[in-house]
Structure 1
Amino acid sequence: MLASAEVVPIESKSPQSVYPVPTEKLMALLNKQRLAHSAIPYPDYETRIKRLDRCIDLLVTHQDEICEAVNRDFGCRSAHVTRMSDLFVSLQSLKFTKKRLKQWMKVERRSAPFPMNLIGARSEIHYQPKGVIGIMTPWNVPVNPIFSQLADVLAAGNRAMIKPSEFTPHTSELLEKLISEYFFDEEVVVINGDAETGAAFSQLPFDHLIFTGSTAVGAKVMASAAANLTPVTLELGGKSPVIIADDYDLDDAADKLMVAKAMNAGQICISPDFCFVPEASLNVFVDKCRQVVSKLYPTVQDNPDFVSVINERHFDRINRYLDDAKSKGAQVISLDPTQSEWAHTSGQKIPLHLVINPSEDMLVMQEELFGPILCLRSYKAFDDCIADINNRPNPLALYLFSNSKAVQRKLINNTMAGAMTINDIAVHYACDDLPFGGVGKSGMGQIHGWEGFKTFSHAKSVFKQGLLNLPKVSGMLPPYGDKFDKLSRGLVKK
C-alpha cells in the first residue's frame, strides 16, 4: 500500500511491449456481446444494480493495487491524488446512478394529440439499451473515465468493450485483469493494445462509441465510426479560459486556481489554460500565486505530492512550449520556490509556470497545454474577454470568478462552452446531476447522470391508440365528401 507516492525511476515505468490485437479477435468479442444482448435485450433493474455494485466492489477492494499501478505509470503520482481524482469521483457516479436508476427506467409519459387523448390514446417513451458500447479512454486520468462511463452504460442496460490507453500499461493491464474477475466477457471486457489496436477498435460496428481524448484523434475516431453509422460521443478538450472579474477577492481566486492547475500537473482536459486578470491587479495576482504554490509545494523534484508528466514525449512537448514563449519575448515565471533545475532531471517533473501576456503566435496560445503552465492575460474591459473567448473554438470548460450576478449572467448568456464553474475550478465535473460534455471542437454528446443514461439508451416512442377508430367515425376516410372538405379546411388555420 502506498501512503504517498514513491518516486519510481523512469526506466521502470516505461511502457511494456504493447502489440496490436487482431481485428478478428475484436470482432469475436463484439459478436459475443451482441449475442448476449440479443438473448437478454432488456436487463431488469436487479441485474443492472448488481453490475454497478460489482464496479463499486472492484474499486474499493482493489484501491491500493490501482493506486500503485497508476503511480508506476506516471513515475510519481500520489495515492491521494488517484484516490480522489480517479476512485472517489468514480464511486460517487456509481452510487448516484444506483439511487436514481429505478426512476430513470420508468416509462415516460408524453401528451397524446387532441382529440385522440380524449378517447384513451397515450404517448410514451421507453428507454431501451442500445446494445454494445465501445469505450475509448485516455491516459491522464486512467481509471475514472472507465468507471464513470460504465455507470452510465451499465445503468442503461448495455454491454461494454473498453480500450484503455497504451501509455498507462500497468494500470490498463491491472484493470483488464480485475474486470475479467468481476465480469464475464459477455458483459464487460477490456482490450489492451497499441495505437493500431485503437484504430481498429474505432472501426468496429458498435451500437454507440464514446471517445475521451484529443480533438485531433477524436476527429479520426468519428471518421472511422461514420463508416458504420455508429453514433459517437466525443469528450475532447481545448483551451479552457478563466476570467477574474474586478469585484472578486484575488486571494481566493489564486488559492483555487493554483490548486486546480497543480492537480495532476495540469494533465486534465478541463484544466484552465489561460486566465484574464484585471490589468491593475496583474502583478499582485502573480505574487499571490507564488505564495499559494510555496505553501502547497515547498519543493517539486523530491515532492511525492507533485505529479510527474506521464512520459518523455509530453515532458519534451511542455518544455518546448516554454522555450518557444521565452524565445518570442514572453515573461515566463517558474513558481518552484526552490528554483531548482528541472529540464534535465530524471523525474519528469515540471514546476508550475506562469506565462505573462503571451502573444497569439506562441505555442502556449495555439495548443492545448495539458501540463503545468498557465497563461495570464491582463485586460481593461470585461467585454474584451468575452470577445477573445468567442474568437476561439468553444472550450470544454469556462471559469469565472465574480460575485456579481449581472456579470455571471452576461458571461453565461454571451459565450458557448461545454460547461461552466463560477467561483471555483473544475467542480462541475464532480456534480453527477449535471451533464458533462463539450460543444464544437471540444466534443459532442453528454455523459453523467440522467443525461448519460439517455445517451446510452434508445428513446423509443410508443403511441397507443384509444378505443375508437377516429378517422372512420369522423368521416375522414375516402371517398371524401363535403363533410371532410369542411373539416379539413377548418383544421388548416392560423
Structure 2
Amino acid sequence: MDRALDPALDHALEPSLASTPLRALQDAFHAMVARSRAEPAPDLAERLDRLARLRAVVADNEERLRQAISADFGHRSAVETTIAETMLVFSEIRHATKHLKSWMTSQRVATALQFLPARNRLMPQPLGVIGIIAPWNYPLQLTLAPAIGALAAGNRVIIKPSELVPHFSALLKETVGQRFDATEVLVTGIEDEIAKGFAHLPFDHLVFTGSTRVGRLVAEAAGRNLTPVTLELGGKSPAIIDASADLNEAAERIAYGKLLNAGQTCIAPDYVLVPENSVQSFAEKVRAQMRRMFGTDPANKDYTSVISDRHYARLEGLVADAAQRGARILQPARPDDPNWKAHRKFPPTLILSATEAMAVMQEEIFGPVLPLLGYRDPDDAIAFVNARDRPLALYWFGKDSNARDEVLSRTISGGVTINDCLFHFTQINQPMGGVGASGTGAYHGEWGFRTFSKLKPVFYRSKFNRLADLYPPYGGKIARLEKLMRFMS
C-alpha cells in the first residue's frame, strides 16, 4: 500500500525534476513503504541480524569514520570521537540486543473486575518507516542512536545526514549500502533538495536533532501529514553552583562539560549561575582547569575545531557583542589570532558580567564560550532559569540535599546531572529528550523501542463474561449492571 506525498512536496516534484535527488528519494521512500507493509513484523532473529549488521558498519570502519569526522571538522579529537560516539553506539546496540526479546513480548495489563475473566495485553508493533534528520555535531552517535531504537522495534529507516559533514555522510552512505538493502536502511545524499523535502515525506515517525528554529520548521512540515515527531533540540542549559559546592571540583567538571567537542554539544552548560561573592574566584578556577586540560596551543590534538567558518564568525560576534556591552572577557588569545583561526579553533572564553541584553544570553552558544552570572539568593537562580524556555539539560553542584531537591522540584528540564555535566545522556536505562522549546519525545534503550513502536492494546473476551447484558433490548439488566459497576468503581 502506497502513501500519498504531502501536496506541497508533490507540487515541487514536477515531471521536469524527475531525475533530481528528491525524485529518487521519493521513489526509494515508496519502495520502502511497500516492503514495510508487505513484511510488517520482522521476527526477533531478523531484528538482531539488522542490529549486528549496523554494529559491523561501525566496527569494520571505525578508523575511517574517525578520520572522516575529523576532516569535516578541520580537526576532531580522535579520543572524543571514540568516547562520545563510537563507544556509545556499541553500548546502545549491546543493550538492545540483550533486552530485545523481552521488549518484544506482549505485556499483561490488569483487567477491571467487571470484565473478568477477560484478559488485556499490550502488543508492541513496528510503526513502519522512520525518517531521521541527523545533526553534524556528533554525526555518528546522533545518527545511529535513534536508528538502533527504530531497527530494534522492527522498522525500516531512512537517514538524512547533515550537509556540514560531507566526508562522514559519504562514508556512512557507502558502508550502510554495503550491509543493508535499500528497503531496510537507506542513507540519502545531502543535496539541498533533499534537505528541503525530507520532512515533507509521510513517514510513520520522524526524528530531528538540531536547533529549535529548524525544529519548528520540521514539525510544521511533518504536521501536514500528521507524522509524529521526536525533536531533540537544545537551548540554553544552565549550571547552578550552590553555596555548598566544592568550587574546585565544580570548575573541573564544568570545564570538561563545556569544552568537550569545543562546546558543540546540545547539552553543554550554556551559562553558569554562581553565588555573587564567588564569581571571580570560580572564573579563575574554571580558566585554570581549561588550561590544564587543553593548554593554550591551538595545535593541541585534544582540542576540537569549530565546524565551519560561519560558526566561527558567529562565536566571534557573540563575544564582540558582549565586550561592547560591558562584559569582561577572559580568554588565552583573541579569536582573530592567526594561530587560532588557521586551525579554526576558538579560544576557550569566559564572559563575566553578562547581561540579558547581550546576544550571548539570548541564543544557544554552541561553542567554547561560557558566561558566568552571579546570584544573591538560591530563589533568584531558580527564577532566572524559570523565566526562560525549558532547557534540554540542567546541572546542579553542591552538597546541600535540601537545596538540590528544591532546584529539582521547582525547575523543569529535559534531563539533569547532579555534581557533573553531560552524564545523564549516557545512562542507557534513562530516556533522553527535551521539553517545550528544547524538544519533544525521547529515545535510548527501551525508551527508543517504545517511541518507534505502536503499543497496541488488545482485549481478549472470555466466553464466561456477561458483556452481552449490555446489548439491547435494554431493561432491568442494565440497571443491575450499572449498580454493580458503580459499586466496583
Normalised by the length of structure 1, the TM-score is: 0.92
CA positional deviation for 1:484: 3.2
Contact map agreement 1:319 1:343 (CA 8 A) in 2: no
Q: Deviations over 1:181-205 (max 9, x none)?
A: 1111011010012333112011001
Pick closer, same or farther for the CA change 1:50–1:339 going to 2, 3 Å.
Answer: closer
Q: Distance in 1 between matches of 2:112 and 2:484?
A: 17
**Local SS of the residue matching 1:375:** strand
d(CA) in 1 for partners of 2:293, 2:336: 16
Structure 1 residue 353 and structure 2 residue 375: aligned? no
- In structure 2, C-alpha distance between the alignment counterparts of 1:155 and 1:344, rounded to whole Å: 44
Question: 5 Å matches for 1:366-445?
Answer: 366-445=362-441
In the TM superposition, what is the alpha-carbon distance from 1:491 to its structure 2 partner?
A: 3.7
SS at match of 1:318: helix
Match of residue 298, structure 1, among 286, 295, 299? 295
Q: What is the alpha-carbon distance in structure 2 between the residues aligned to residue 265 and residue 215 of structure 1?
A: 20
Rate the CA distance shift 1:343–1:369 in 2: closer, same or farther, 3 A: farther
| Shift in Å, 1:289 | 1.3
2:226 aligned with 1:229: yes
Unaligned runs of 5+ in 1: 1-19
Please say if 1:330 is aligned against 2:327. Answer: yes
Shift of 1:477: 3.5
Q: Quote the offset at 1:409 in angstroms.
A: 1.3
Structure 1 residue 256: Cα displacement: 0.6
| 1:414-465 deviation per Cα after TM superposition (whole angstroms, max 9, x unaligned) | 0110011001100011111110000000000001011111000001110000
Secondary structure in 1 matching 2:371: strand
Runs of at least 5 residues in structure 2 that lack an aligned partner in the other structure = 1-18
Residue deviations 1:232-256 (CA, integer Å, cap 9, x gap): 1000000000001111111110111
Does the alignment pair 1:204 with 2:201? yes
**In 2: Cα distance, 1:372 partner to 1:135 partner:** 27
Cα drift, residue 481 of structure 1: 2.8
Q: Which residue of 2 aligns with 1:88?
A: 87
Instruction: Give % identity.
Output: 39
Distance in 1 separating the partners of 2:485 and 2:49: 52
User: Which residue number in structure 2 is paired with residue 13 of structure 1?
Assistant: none
The equivalent of 1:479 in structure 2 is 473
**1:181-330 to 2 correspondences below 5 Å:** 181-330=178-327
Query: Does the 8 Å CA contact 2:129/2:204 hold for their aligned counterparts?
Result: yes
| Number of aligned residue pairs | 470
Mapped contact 1:262–1:372 kept (Cα < 8 A): yes
Amino acid at match of 1:410: E
How far is the alpha carbon of 1:280 from its aligned partner? 1.6
Q: Classify 1:485/1:386 alpha carbon distance in 2 versus 1 (closer, same or farther; 3 Å).
A: same
Out of 150, 166, 169, the residue aligned to residue 166 of structure 2 is 169
Residue aligned with 1:138, SS: coil
Cα gap change, 1:300 to 1:476, in 2 (>3 Å) = same
Please state whether the residue corresponding to 1:272 is helix, strand or coil.
coil
**Distance between the aligned counterparts of 1:409 and 1:450, measured in 2?**
27
Letter in 2 for 1:488: E
For 2:68 and 2:210, the matched residues in 1 are separated by 21
CA distance in 2, matches of 1:428, 1:157: 27
Q: Which amino acid aligns with 2:320?
A: D
Q: Deviations over 1:40-67 (max 9, x none)?
A: 2111111111111112122122111001
Does the CA-based 8 Å contact 1:399-1:425 persist in structure 2?
Answer: yes
- Asked if residue 48 in structure 1 is aligned to residue 47 in structure 2, the reply is yes
The one-letter code matched in structure 1 to 2:457 is S
Q: Is the 8 A contact 2:132 2:208 kept in 1?
A: yes
Whole-Å separation in 2 of the counterparts to 1:262 and 1:483:
72
Distance of aligned partners of 1:327 and 1:342 in 2 relative to their CA distance in 1, 3 Å threshold = farther
Report the equivalent of 1:138: 135
Match of 2:210, as an amino acid? Answer: G
The structure 2 residue matched to 1:362, chosen from 341, 358, 361, is 358
Q: Residue 299 of structure 1 aligns to a residue in which SS?
A: coil
CA apart distance, 1:375: 0.6
Tell me, in whole angstroms, the C-alpha distance in 2 between the residues paired with 1:356 and 1:283.
8
CA distance in structure 1 between the aligned counterparts of 2:391 and 2:297, rounded to whole angstroms: 30
